[in-house]
Amino acid sequence: MRENLHRFLRAARGAGVRVSPAESIDAMRAVSKVGFEDRGVLRDTFLLTLAKSQDEKRALGECFDLFFSQPEPAQDTKPDESKSDDTDSSAGSDSSNDASSGDQAQNLGPLAQMLLSQDRNAIAAAIANASGAASLSNIRYFTQRGIFSGRILDAMGIQRLRDDLDNLTATNPALAERLQAAVDGLRGTVRDTVSQALLLYGREETENLRNEILRNAPLARIEPRQVEQMRALIRQIARRLRERYSKPRKRQRRGHLDVRRTLRRNAAWGGVPFLTAWKRKHRDRPKIVALCDVSGSVARVSDFFLLLIHSLHEVVDDVRSFAFSGHLIEVSDILEDKSPEAAMAEIMSKVGFGSSDYGNSLADFEKGWMDTITPQTTVIVLGDARSNNLDPRADILRRIAERSKRLVWLNPEGRMTWGFGDSEMPRYATFCSVVRQCATAQQLERAVSDIVATYQ
């Protein structure tokens, strides 16, 4: 049972429940007190000791129900059970045949006898033991289902069962037919067991594989059914960036130990460091101003970018966000006060999906918000720099670059298209500190990570 608990905790982690070693020990101690007899009490025990949020409670409950529900072995019925009774002579003949079949069954292997006896508890126990012998908890991918099904059947003695079937087919076709039907049911039960294990233990690897594919997929061509998955991936990226950069900032507040000054200060005590001296490096208060093109060609990319930027408030204290197509508006309050879905819907209803006019949008920013830019501000522009052959007003971008700490341009288009058609990217790039292609979630993560890292 201890091994079963370890497997359950592994499945819980795969389901998205964060379980630390200390919490695992607490859960196992609690289980030792309540026992396994009452499944409802056992379920509540895991929920109380492991889950830390409503989402984790829901995921852990589903994992518990799946883990402790074993597929039921298929129940075979004899072919003659559905038929009406024959004459007394045929009944006598059946009795003699049953006796002969019973004698032959005694000479069969353990698995064949178990299947013919239709002892469902014994079959379930045999499948469970064979699953442990085959290390079924190591299954990770759906392509491994056939491999593990074969391992389980081999551990149960499928080879001896095949020999028994061959012998019965030649000597007792009726009994061979019954045994073949039971074998088919056994294979189905084993397949169900393997599929259940894949749901339990392969979820994390499947999720990682799907996320890896999404991370490298062009954001502008994400299918509607993948939008929510991409939002979840962007939230994971934001959480990872927060964990990576929040801790160094806390250490920077204290500074680093100045060994020389500490030794000099404590010379009177023989070098024992009663008084410590710290090196503190002054860092500017970080500020980010994000200008996002939400015209039809790049609206999907801007959606994810704004979601990521506003998920980083624990790292960057001062973030101002603006969106534009033909004209520019500030969207900081919308993003902070509303859910991502509602915020994006409102932003798109106000300025989204229009024809882009970079010149007019930059003029709107200069007129209304130019004073938000200081020498500590990093300005990020996300857009394809296509201004529909209108005046790009590169002079305004130059003044923004001069007032800010640096100007970063993230372009969702490939570099081969920059400067062709109505693209003004080469002209804008002249005034930018950094110009990056940003067409996938992975490129977006790297770009934002590099920006945030400069403040650490």
Strand pairing class (278-279; 406-411) = unpaired
Beta bridge partners of 297: none
Range of lowest pLDDT (86-95, 182-191, 271-280): 86-95
Which of 170, 187, 204 is the last residue in one of the domains?
Answer: 204
Range of the domain at 144: 99-204
Give the residue carrying structure tokens 């890292």. Answer: 453
Is the pLDDT at 85 greater than 50? The verdict is no
296's CB contacts (< 8 A; 6+ apart) are 352, 353, 354, 355
**Same domain? 290 vs 384:** yes
Round to whole Å and give the CA distance between 448 and 309: 8
**Same domain? 31 vs 180:** no
Output the six-digit token pair for 69: 């529900």
Which of 67, 89, 116 is the last residue in one of the domains?
Answer: 67
Percent of the chain with pLDDT over 90: 20
**Same domain? 417 vs 303:** yes
CB 219 within 8 A of CB 300: yes
Cα dist. 408→206, 422, 432, 454 in Å?
A: 35, 21, 6, 13
In this structure, is residue 242 part of a structural domain? Answer: no
pLDDT tens figures, 156-166? 999 988 888 88
In this structure, is residue 15 part of a structural domain? Answer: yes
Confidence tier at 390 by pLDDT (50, 70, 90) = very high
* Closest-CA residue to 249 (of 310, 314, 344): 314
In this structure, is residue 221 part of a structural domain? Answer: no
Beta bridge partners of 437: 411
**Same domain? 309 vs 438:** yes
Give the residue carrying structure tokens 């359950």. Answer: 8
pLDDT tens figures, 177-231? 888 998 998 999 999 888 888 888 877 777 777 788 888 888 877 777 787 788 8
**Same domain? 136 vs 41:** no
Is the pLDDT at 358 greater than 90? The verdict is yes
In this structure, is residue 252 part of a structural domain? Answer: no
Which of 153, 179, 204 is the last residue in one of the domains?
Answer: 204
Is the pLDDT at 81 greater than 80? The verdict is no
**Same domain? 41 vs 105:** no
Round to whole Å and give the CA distance between 370 and 363: 10
Q: What is the CA radius of gyration of the chain?
A: 34
Cα dist. 180→116, 124, 450 in Å?
A: 10, 18, 63
pLDDT on residue 424: 93
Round to whole Å and give the CA distance between 7 and 21: 14
Cα dist. 405→111, 242, 252, 374 in Å?
A: 76, 22, 21, 7
**Same domain? 62 vs 106:** no
**Same domain? 21 vs 122:** no
Round to whole Å and give the CA distance between 263 and 272: 8
In this structure, is residue 89 part of a structural domain? Answer: no
DSSP 296: T
pLDDT on residue 168: 86
In this structure, is residue 340 part of a structural domain? Answer: yes
pTM above threshold 0.75: no
pLDDT tens figures, 400-451? 999 999 999 999 988 889 989 899 999 999 999 999 998 888 888 888 888 7
Q: What is the mean pLDDT of the chain?
A: 82
Amino acid (1-letter code) at residue 82: S
Split into its structural domains, the chain has a count of 3
Output the six-digit token pair for 42: 């056992």
Round to whole Å and give the CA distance between 161 and 151: 15
**Same domain? 52 vs 110:** no
**Same domain? 13 vs 154:** no
Round to whole Å and give the CA distance between 295 and 183: 61
In this structure, is residue 397 part of a structural domain? Answer: yes
Round to whole Å and give the CA distance between 189 and 284: 64
Output the six-digit token pair for 88: 């007394």
pLDDT on residue 76: 52
Average pLDDT value for residue range 369-392: 91
pLDDT tens figures, 292-301? 999 887 877 8
In this structure, is residue 381 part of a structural domain? Answer: yes
pLDDT on residue 64: 86
pLDDT tens figures, 124-142? 888 888 888 888 888 888 8
pLDDT on residue 97: 52
**Same domain? 358 vs 421:** yes
**Same domain? 300 vs 382:** yes
> What CATH number should be reported for the domain holding residue 358?
3.40.50.410
Confidence tier at 72 by pLDDT (50, 70, 90) = low
CB 445 within 8 A of CB 273: no
